[in-house]
Chain A
Amino acid sequence: MLKVNLLTRDGASIAFDAEPSDTLLDAAANANIFLPAVCREGGCGTCRVTRKAGVVVLGPHSKAALTDDDRAAGDILLCRAKACSDLELTAPFDKAAIGFSPIPERSARVTEISPAGAGAVRLVLQYEDDPTHGRATEFIPGQFMELTLPGTSITRAYSLANTPNWDGTLEFLIRLHPQGVFSAYLKSEAKIGDPILVKGPQGSFTADEASHAPRWFVAGGTGVAPMLSMLRQMADFGDTREARLYFGVNTLDELFALDIIEDLKTSLPNLAATLCVWKSAPDWRGFTGTPADALAAALAAESAHPDIYVCGPPALIKATEALSLSAGVAHDRIFSEQFSPA
C-alpha cells in the first residue's frame, strides 16, 4: 500500500492509501474521499493535479485534458494515474470541493424549459422532498450536477446558474447540440413534470474565497452558467470587489441572460460586463471577437493581476490560459472548467 498526500488550494492536507492497481481517484474513493472528477475517462481535465514528488503511471487521456507541456511540468489526471511510489500532490481546488460521503442522488422534476438565445435552453428543475436532504438546493456556486436522461442510464453534467436556495430550485443553461442525446430530449421530448435524477453537487470550479483579488470571468456560450451563479452569490452577499464578465457567443442571435446580467450590474456596482459576438453583425455595437480577445486587451491595460475564471469550449480555455500567463497572471490564479458537447 502506498501513501498519497494531497495539499488543497486552501492548505488542507488530505491523505489516503493507494494500491498500485487502482487509479488515484478510486483509491481516494475507497477511503471515502470523493475528489473532483467528471468524465473519469481522461477526457475533461477536471481531476488534474500537480505531482510534487513520487512516480505514477498515466493511462490514455485526451491532450485537451492534459497537454504534453502540463504533463512535463508534473501535472497528472487522478482518473488516469496509478501510484508507483508514495506521492505528494497539490490540487488547484479547495477542500470544499472534496466530498467525504458519497455524492447525493436525488429526484427532481422539470418545472420550466424555455429558449436561451438561439441554440440553448434554460432548464429549471425542482427537487422532491427527501428524508435525508430535505428539499434544499445546497451547492457551492460554480459546481455542477449530473442529470440522468429520463428512462435511460445516460448522464450529462451541467453547471448550475442559480444560487443555493431553500425551495429546491435548480437552474441550468444548456446548449443544444445537433447530435446530443440530452439535447434531443430537451428539444423535442421534455415536458413539465418529467422526473430527472440529479447527482451532485460536484466539481471544484468555485470562487477562491481566500483571495482578495478582483475576479474576472471569461465565458463562452452556456459556460456563463457557473459565472452567473458565482456573480449572483456575490450580489447576495454584497461583495463589493471589482468583477468583470467577458461573455461571448458566436452570433448575435445566440446572446441570452442579458436581463440577469443587467440585474447583476445593478446589485454589483463594481461589475463591468463585456458582451462579445464573434461573427460581426451590422447592428452590433458591442465587442466583436471572442471573449479571449476582449480579455487580452483588458489585461494589457491593467497593472494589478486579477483572478481569472474561465468556462467554455476547450479552445477558449486554452486561449485564455495562454494569454493570461503571458500577461503575467500566475498559473494558480487561473481557474478553468471546460465543457464538451452533450
Chain B
Amino acid sequence: MFCYQCEQTYRSDESAGCAGPKGMCGKDATTSDLQDILLHVCEGIGQYLRRARTLGAIDADADRFVLYAFFTTLTNVNFNAGKFVELIQQAAQHRDRAKALYEKAAQTAGKTPERLSGAAAFIPAKDMNGLLAQASAAAVKKDAATLGDDVVGLRSLVLYGLKGVCAYAHHAEVLGQERAAIYAAVEHALDLLASEPREIGPLLDEALALGHANFSAMEALDAANTGSFGTPVPTIVRMTPIKGKAILVSGHDLKDLHAILEATKDKGINVYTHGEVLPAHSYPKLKAYPQLVGNYGGAWQDQQKEFADFPGPIVMTSNCLIEPQPRYRGRLFTAGPVGWAGVRHIENGDFSQVVQAALALPGFNEDAAEETVTIGFGRDAVLGVADKVIDAVKAGAIRHFFLVGGCDGAAPGRNYYTDFAEHAPQDTMVLTLGCGKYRFNRHDFGTIGGLPRLLDMGQCNDAYSAIVVASKLAEAFGVGVNELPLSLIVSWFEQKAAAVLLTLLALGVRNVRLGPTLPAFLTPALVNVLVEKFGIQPIGDAKADIEASLSRAA
C-alpha cells in the first residue's frame, strides 16, 4: 500500500504517505492496492474511449462506470475489498467493450486501429490473491525511483483532481445531467495517465484542463440539483432533535435524500440531515416535505460519537464514511459508491429497509432545546440582493469578502478557520460552503445593512455558485475577480476539494490561502510552481492573514 491522496495522510520528517497495513483513514492495504488496480484498468478504458470519441463513437455506460469507479476510491468512500474485486472485473469488461468500439470505429473510418499497450493491455487476475500479486503494476509510486517525486506528485495531482471531477460528475449524472465535454476531459486525463507521462508541462496543462472540466461538472451538478429540487432559498434550519422516530441522512447525495423523503411520507418518521446534506433544507422541493425536520450533528469527523447517539438508522450516501463503531454498525446503511464490509448496502434506491429500521428503533424520546442556523444563500439568493451588496461596498459598509470554505477534519490546525471567521472584522462578509462551516456556523455574526454577515452558500460543489457570484460582482464593478475585495480561505481534505482548487487555478483566481497543510503529493518544487504561477499561499496565523488580506484590498 502507498496512498497520500488526502490531507490527513501519515507525515514524518522524512516522508509522507500511508504505507503500513492500514492508512490513517482506516483503509487497509488490500483495499488500497485493489483501488490502484481498478484505477489502472480504468485508464485502459480511457485509452480506448478517447480514441473512439475522436472517431465519433462513444460508450455512455463505460463513461458512467468510470465516474462511479473513481468515486469509490475517494477518501472515506469504499473500504470493502471484496467490492473492488468485483469492480475490477467489471472494469475489464467495459475496457474490452471500449476496445471493440474503437476498433470498429477505426475500421469504419478506413483507419488501422492502434495497438495499445500499458493499462489497455493489462489483464487483471480473477481473484483477490491474484490481483494483489499484480499491485506493483498499478502502484502510485511505481516510477518514483526513475522519474523522481516531482513527476509522480504531479501525476498524483492529475489523478486526484480527476477523482474529484468524477465524483461531482457522478452526483450530476444520477440526477440526469451529463456533459459530453466532461466525459471527453475524463477520457483525455485517463489516456494521459496511461501514457505514463514524464514531463512537467503536459501534466500541469492536464491539471488545469481538469480544473475547467470540474467547473463543468459543478455546473452540471448545480443544474441537476436546482433542476430537480428548485433554486435554494434562505431557510432557517433547526439544529436539534424533536421527539419521534428518526432517520439520519449523511454524505452529499440529494437524490438519495429525496428517495428517503418519498419513502417516509406519512410514516411518522422524522428525517434529519447530517454533514454536507445540510444544504438540502434550502431546496424548495425538499423542504416541502414536512418530515424533513432539521439537521443533526456536525461535520463528518465527529460521526462516531454522533451516529452512536442517534436513536435511528443512518444512511451514508457518499463520502465521508469513517470506521463504523459497533454501537451503530447494525443500523448504518451505505448507498451509492460507499461501502464497508459488514455494513448493509442499499443497492437500488429502495430505502424500505431503512424505514423499517426507523420504525423498529426507539427514536428521540423528547424535544431538545431549539437551536437554528440560516442557510440557502446560493447564487440566486445572493445575486437577488446584488444591488444592496454593491451599494454597501461602494458606501464602505462592506470592506471585504472572505470565502471561508471547504472540508472539515479532525486536525487541530483546523481551528484556524474558526478563528478566521470569528475574527473577521464587522465590516466584512463571510461566505462559506462545504462542511468546514460547522466550525463557526452557530456563531452569531450579526448583519450589515440588513444582510446576514455569514452567508452559507451550500455544499463544497456550490463553489460553482461562489464563482458565479464573484464573476457577476466583478462584472458589476468593472474589474477582474482578482481585483475584487475578496479573499479565499480554503480548507481541503480530500479529492473533491483538490478538483475545486484546480478549478480556481484554471480560472485564474489568485489570493487563495490553502490549509491546514499543503497536499503531501506536492513536492517543494511543485509548491513553488503553484505559488509563482497562481499565488497560492499556505495558511498562517488567522489574525495576521486577515490583516494581510485587508491590506491587499486597501
Which A residues are closer than 8 A to B by beta carbons?
94-98, 100, 130-136, 138-140, 164, 166-168, 207, 209-210, 212, 233, 236-241, 304
Contact = CB atoms under 8 A, between A and B. Distances in A.
B26 to A, nearest CB: 10
Contacts of B330: 138-140, 164
Contacts of A133: 361-362
Nearest to A304: B129
Q: Describe A's contact surface by its main secondary structure.
A: loop
Interface stretch (B103-111, B150-158, B260-268, B352-360): B352-360
Given A133-B362, A134-B360, A138-B330, A207 B86 contact: no
A307 to B, nearest CB: 13
A207 B357 CA distance: 23
Given A134-B363, A166-B356, A236-B344, A96 B329 contact: yes
B372 interface: no
A237 B342 contact: yes
Contacts of B329: 96, 140
B30 A166 contact: no
B128 interface: yes
Contacts of A233: 342
Contacts of B342: 207, 209, 233, 237
Interface residues of B, number: 28
Given A136-B361, A140-B326, A212 B128 contact: yes
A257 B360 CA distance: 28
Nearest to B339: A237
17 contacts: A96-B326, A133-B361, A134-B311, A134-B362, A135-B360, A140-B329, A140-B330, A166-B359, A166-B360, A167-B356, A167-B360, A207-B342, A210-B28, A212-B82, A240-B82, A240-B86, A304-B129
A207 B327 CA distance: 16
Contact of B81 (A134, A138, A167, A212): A212
B341 interface: yes
B363 A95 contact: no
B536 interface: no
A164 B365 CA distance: 23
* Centre residue among B30, B82, B311, B330 by max chain A CB count within 10 A: B330
Contact of A241 (B82, B311, B365): B82
A166 B357 contact: yes
B85 A95 contact: no
Contact of B361 (A95, A96, A134, A237): A134
Given A136-B357, A166-B353, A166-B360, A237 B30 contact: no
B252 to A, nearest CB: 24
Interface in B496-541: none
Q: Which 7 A-B pairs have the closest CB atoms?
A: A96-B326, A166-B360, A136-B360, A209-B342, A166-B356, A134-B362, A134-B361
B472 interface: no
Nearest to B327: A100
Interface string B99-140: 000000000000000000000000000001100000000000
A97 B326 CA distance: 8
Contacts of B363: 134
A95 B353 CA distance: 27
B331 interface: yes
B161 to A, nearest CB: 30
A98 B342 CA distance: 17
Interface string B319-350: 00000001101110000000001111100000
Contacts of B326: 94-98, 140
Contacts, number: 64
A239 B360 contact: no
Interface of B: 28, 30, 81-82, 85-86, 128-129, 311, 326-327, 329-331, 341-345, 353, 356-357, 359-363, 365
A168 B360 contact: yes
Given A96-B329, A210-B341, 6 more contacts: A95-B326, A136-B360, A138-B330, A166-B353, A212-B128, A239-B82
A233 B359 CA distance: 21
B79 to A, nearest CB: 10
Nearest to B31: A212
Contact of B331 (A97, A136, A238): A136
A164 B343 CA distance: 12
Contacts of B345: 237-238
A235 to B, nearest CB: 12
Contacts of B85: 240
B362 A132 contact: yes
A137 to B, nearest CB: 8
A131 B353 contact: no
A100 B328 CA distance: 13
B338 to A, nearest CB: 14
A41 B48 CA distance: 67
Nearest to B357: A166
Nearest to B128: A212
A237 B363 CA distance: 25
A94 B329 CA distance: 13
Nearest to A201: B330
Give the residue among B311, B326, B363 with the most A Cβ atoms within 10 A. Answer: B326
Nearest to B86: A240
A134 B246 CA distance: 12
Nearest to A97: B326
B343 to A, nearest CB: 8
A240 B83 CA distance: 9
Contacts of A138: 330-331
A240 B90 CA distance: 15
B81 to A, nearest CB: 5
A264 B343 CA distance: 19
Contact of B30 (A94, A168, A212, A238): A212
Contacts of A241: 82
B254 to A, nearest CB: 26
Most buried by A among B331, B344, B360, B365: B360
A138 B327 CA distance: 10
Contacts of B343: 237
Contacts of A236: 344
Contact of B341 (A97, A100, A164, A209): A209
A101 to B, nearest CB: 9
B362 A131 contact: yes
A109 to B, nearest CB: 16
